[in-house]
Homo-oligomer: A and B are copies of this chain.
Amino acid sequence: MTSGETRALAQSPARTPAAEEIAQHLVVLIREGVIAAGAKLPTEQTLSRQFGVSRTVVREAISRLKSDGLVKSRQGSGVSVVPASVRRSFKLQGTALDRRQVLALLELRQPLEMASARLAALRHTPGDLQEILDAQQRMLDSQEWSEEGLQADLDFHHAIAKATDNSFYADFMAFLGGALRATIVAARLASTNPNVKAITVEEHLKIIQAIKARDPDAAGQAMLLHIQGASLRMAPE
């Protein structure tokens, strides 16, 4: 035939449904701290009056927040903001990761992180190295179990991915996003060793040294041990 005459992607101005708009509005209120962690949201009826929409729409908006793990509802009680410290990772499949899934994700990360470390060892610039060292330092300065420590851990891996000079590695890390965070949190929670931070820092140090020495084999090996260590700490059995 004479080509499918594909429809223009111009499209309508994407009039956003009310539920989505309200969900985003609520997300802002929560992130800005207007509604504190642990505090209760206004009742659905109040919100519906406040936003000038039906309760159904409000419920759909709240349903999204629940899906993202931002709030938790209890029948008869209300909807409360879940503290950031226990906030389930969002994105990537929408369902919470159980232990087996975390292990599966680590299995995916292993070859990726190894290749990432190898390429970083070969291609890193002084600036890249500095970024890696910064993350390591922030991890050293952080409290055990703290949010800052977790973030520093994530930044460490992200900095290495950026040092590959291949933006897709960094992008893919971002794609994993919250799921990656979940694996680290899970690994720490499941660990019987009280010194997780110290062990992690030490493993990171070996990776840094190998990268600094521009030794791809050593960097890959050090990263392998790091990832495997996380898996083992995760599945003590």
Binding site for B on A (CB under 8 A): 19-20, 23-24, 27, 31, 56, 59-61, 63-70, 88-95, 101, 104-105, 107-108, 110-112, 114-115, 119, 166-169, 171-172, 175
Contacts and interface: CB of A to CB of B under 8 A. Distances in A.
- 10 closest cross-chain pairs (CB), A and B: A68-B94, A64-B67, A111-B115, A111-B111, A108-B168, A60-B63, A104-B166, A63-B63, A67-B67, A104-B168
A119 to B, nearest CB: 8
A169 B107 CA distance: 9
This chain: copies in complex: 2
A94 B59 contact: no
Contact of A108 (B61, B104, B112, B114): B112
A108 B31 CA distance: 17
A59 B90 CA distance: 20
Contact of A64 (B27, B64, B70): B64
Contacts of A89: 171, 175
Contact of A19 (B63, B90, B171): B63
Contacts of A67: 23, 63-64, 67-68, 94
A93 B63 contact: no
A169 B110 CA distance: 12
Given A93-B31, A110-B115, A112-B112, A104 B167 contact: yes
Nearest to A166: B104
B88 A175 contact: yes
A222 to B, nearest CB: 16
B94 A65 contact: yes
| Most B Cβ at <10 Å: residue of A20, A69, A91, A107 | A91
Contacts of A65: 94
A95 B67 CA distance: 12
7 contacts: A31-B93, A63-B67, A64-B67, A68-B68, A69-B91, A89-B175, A107-B166
